[in-house]
Amino acid sequence: MTYKNFTVETDADGIALVTWDMPDKSMNVFTVEVMDEIEKIVDAVVADAAIKGVVFTSGKSSFSGGADLSMIRGMFSMVEEERAKDPANAVKKLFDGAGRMSWLWRKIETCGKPWVSAINGTCMGGAFELSLACHGRVASNAKSVKLALPEVKVGIFPGAGGTQRVPRLANTQDALQMMTTGQTLTPQRAKAMNLVHQVVEPDQLIPAAKQMIKDGLKPVAPWDEKGFKAPGGGIWTPASAQLWPAAPAILRRETSGNYPAALAILKCVYEGLQVPFDTGLRIEQRYFTEIVQTTEAFSMIRSLFISMQELNKGARRPAGQPKSEIRKVGVVGAGFMGASIAYVTAAAGIPVVLIDRDQEAADKGLGVSQKLVSDAIGKGKLTKEDGEKLVSLITPTPDYAALADADLVIEAVFEDRDVKKAVIEKVEAVLPEGAIFASNTSTLPITGLAKNSKRPVDFIGIHFFSPVEKMMLTEVILGKETGDKALAVALDYVAAIRKTPIVVNDTRGFFVNRCVLRYMAESYDMLIEGVPPVMIENAAKFAGMPVGPLSLNDEVAIDLSYKILKATVADLGEKAVDARHMELVARMVEKEERFGRKNGKGFYDYPAKPAKKSLWPGLKDFYPQKKAEEVDVKVLQERFLATIALEAARTAEEGIVTDPREADVGSILGFGFAPYTGGALSYIDGMGVKTFVALCEKLAKDYGPHFKPTPLLKEMAEKGETFYGRFDPYGQAKQAA
């Protein structure tokens, strides 16, 4: 029998090598067709007496990343359609659909012949669950091999047997830690947890897998044998009596109760370990069906799985533009930001010219890359040879003539219009025709900067976030005259350095910084009201923000906030800034000389390590303090999320963000907006625009006019619209095509 996605070759020992290699796909993913073919292979193996066992592997450099986008989207579409027609039947269909993969893996596990999974690269989600259902697991020791059940990061959980097999193989604490955080395991760590049997050299992977079968591997899972006990003895043991009362409390401490899927993992494991394995799978299937119907799961999967992949694959790339061949990039400004941009560019294999005012300054910028490389080698993330190759791709120089053959030049100099104007003129004097110039400005409008250019059609903004090597987002900013070619080149470059792009139209602060500034401004309001600083920070974290606004302000630098406030006043007048905010920040900078983490004192104190940072006690003396019982923490949470979401809605209304996917992905990757909401606009859609407008009107009455809902929001509330309905990204894509 022939298959579209698999080849099956049986050797002289009767061992069938099943190789998964989907045509026209860079990575194997699960589709309905793939699962149908796996089921046919299982049936064929069982029916063929000549086959003694199966080795299941991948024909690609990675094993599998899990489910296909279309399959996930189809599941949600089915739920919505069935809910409209027959709500009760919708849940049953979802329950049956949720169990398809789980029971197929169980069929492999109980087919009567031994299966060994030979893992040769990334093995995530359902693919790792398939491997766990095999009777043997062998992994290559290559650095590219990563194993994980990361579903909780997109609002769901391992629902194809993961919550039942992992705690029956590994000790319960490690199992819970792995699944509730979605952590990635090395082959060595997976072996230590008993999730993998052998770790071998890459060229020994298939021979080792076949040898397991030759050595008499039993075609029976441990839990199907009489007398099986889970590691540590299961639920009713002294160790479990210590673990289980603490586990929900620890989870709540880490998630503030915002992630239903993480709690469902605890329930699945706790209940599942008390019953026979098949009953445990049913319990898992029930909880998975419940979680998939939550707003959190829908929003997180849409933004963090579907939308992110679509943006990474060029959803906003202009049609008709040929793929750019970026052979050389210039970076002007060898400060920390520019040097880091040069590093990520060289890490993508692209030669870089790093320019500064003199050789000493340019060499100092190269030193940033050398330090990053040294750290990566020390952590085992880079080999010495790869590190040396990366550094060799960066040429530090003060000579602008070195840009004469660059395809793209990125300016990363001081946030000053005159300084940038001088750089633009120097670069354009040598830059070849058709090359693209990009500014890394964080606040200055691109259209204004492009007025200094002789070719504004080739002028664009590419805004990086610090630290560049860690932050996955870039904002690509269109000036009024920016052409399609410039946008295509910018997006191709961002794809090459493996960042996620969002495309925004020009405005002061663009998208991310506008939202971040609102977040920090709300914390200023709270301080002025007398809310204790520790309550401000904790309320933000309870709301789902990874970093409190005062801590974030320290990271950004308080003196930078002061410069932004002064620049806003200079450009837009005094009424553009809250005078109380200016007074607060001016006092921190001018009187207290507290600039943030960079000088070891800001809203927090930063003692020498290993001591941890702590809120500066003097902050409480700025304003009369309220008593804790006078402050409603839930309202503080609402204020933080609503003020950011309102700003995101304003950018949509102003046409700055035209695609809701970008507002959502940008808000999560850019500053960590409560990921469980799916992003700033999904937060509004999730509760309903009408409910959000009512919340804003209440907050405006109690805390100021900056909470007043915009005309667009009021109109959408009246019409019962959503952002994804009104600004349908897929409708736009069809029209563009």
CATH number of the domain residue 372 falls in? 3.40.50.720
pLDDT along the chain (737 residues), means of 10: 92 96 91 94 95 96 84 70 75 82 96 96 94 97 93 92 96 94 95 96 96 96 93 84 92 93 96 96 95 91 91 92 94 93 95 95 93 90 91 95 95 88 93 94 88 94 92 94 95 96 90 93 96 96 95 91 88 89 95 92 92 93 93 96 97 95 96 95 96 97 95 96 92 48
b/e map of 278-317 (b: 16 or more CB within 10 Å)?
Answer: eebbbbbbbbbbbbbebbbbbbbbbbbbbbbebbbeebbb
Could you give the CA distance from residue 289 to residue 98 in angstroms, rounded to a whole number? 6
- Range(s) of the domain holding residue 468: 329-509
Token code pair at residue 125: 């989600």
Helices (H) and strands (E) in the chain, counts: 31, 19
What's residue 736's pLDDT? 41
Please check whether residues 437 and 557 belong to one and the same domain: no
Q: Which DSSP category does 233 fall into?
A: G
DSSP designation for 627 = P
Q: Count the Cβ atoms, other than its own, within 10 Å of residue 386.
A: 14
Q: Residues with Cβ < 8 Å from 360, sequence gap 6 or more?
A: none
Q: For residues 260 and 291, is the Cβ–Cβ distance under 8 A? A: yes
How buried is 523 (Cβ within 10 angstroms: 0-12 exposed, 13-18 middle, 19+ buried)? Answer: buried
Check whether residue 645 and residue 500 sit in a common domain: no
| Tokens linked to 502 | 């969002």
Q: Give the type of residue at 467.
A: P
- Residue 591 DSSP class: I
- What's the Rg (C-alpha) of the chain? 28
Give domain status of residue 324, yes or no.
Answer: no
96 found inside a domain: yes
CA distance 193 to 171: 7
Please list the alpha-helical segments (H only) found in 401-478.
417-428, 446-450
Which of 509, 535, 551 is at the close of a domain? 509
With 0-12 / 13-18 / 19 or more C-beta atoms within 10 angstroms meaning exposed / middle / buried, residue 168 is: buried
Does residue 587 lie within any of the structural domains? yes
Tallying the residues shown for the chain, one arrives at 737
**145 lies in the same domain as 77:** yes
Residue 469 inside a domain? The answer is yes
Domain count, the chain: 3
* The token pair that represents 417 in the structure block: 């219009």
- Is the same domain home to 490 and 530? no
∠ CA 516-519-521, nearest 5°, is: 110
Burial class (CB in 10 A: 0-12, 13-18, 19+), 93: middle
Tell me the C-alpha distance between 613 and 611, whole Å: 7
Query: Are 219 and 196 within one domain?
Result: yes
For residues 485 and 643, is the Cβ–Cβ distance under 8 A?
no
Q: Is residue 119 situated within a structural domain?
A: yes
Q: Whole-angstrom Cα distance, residue 529 to residue 677?
A: 28
Look up residue 195 and give its two tokens. Answer: 């999730």
> The whole model's pTM is what?
0.90
Does residue 574 share a domain with residue 451?
no
CATH number of the structural domain spanning residue 127? 3.90.226.10
SS3 state at 84 = helix
Indicate whether 221 and 195 sit together in one domain: yes
Say yes or no: 558 and 452 in one domain: no
**Alpha-carbon distance 79 to 27, whole Å?**
27
How far from the centroid of its chain's Cα atoms is residue 705's Cα? 33
Q: Are 440 and 464 in contact (CB under 8 A)?
A: yes
316 inside domain: no
Q: Give Cβ neighbours of residue 595 (< 8 Å, ≥ 6 apart).
A: 557, 558, 559, 589, 601, 602
Distance CA 578, CA 582 (A): 7
Within its chain, how far is the Cα of 706 from the centroid? 30
CATH code for the domain of 702: 1.10.1040.50
Neighbours of 628 (CB within 10 A): 11
CA-based nearest residue to 301, from 151, 126, 512: 151
Cα(584)–Cα(536) distance, rounded to whole angstroms? 16
- In terms of C-beta distances under 8 Å and separation of at least 24 residues, what long-range contacts does 279-284 make, across chains too? 280/163, 280/164, 281/99, 281/102, 281/103, 281/106, 281/161, 281/164, 284/102, 284/159, 284/161, 284/163, 284/164
Q: Is 322 contained in some domain?
A: no
- 310 is a domain residue: no
Does one domain contain both 281 and 359?
no
| Predicted local distance difference test score (pLDDT) of residue 185 | 95
SS (H, E, C) 319-381: CCCCCCCCCCEEEECCCHHHHHHHHHHHHCCCCEEEECCCHHHHHHHHHHHHHHHHHHHHCCC
Same domain for 220 and 203, yes or no, is yes
- Residue 481 sits in the same domain as residue 536: no
Residue where one domain finishes, among candidates 456, 491, 509: 509
Say how far apart CA 415 and CA 435 lie, in whole Å. 23
Residue finishing a domain among 455, 477, 509: 509
CB 84 within 8 A of CB 69: no
Tell me which residues are annotated as active site. Answer: 463
For residues 465 and 558, membership in a common domain is answered with: no
- What is the β-pairing status of strands 473-478 and 408-411? unpaired
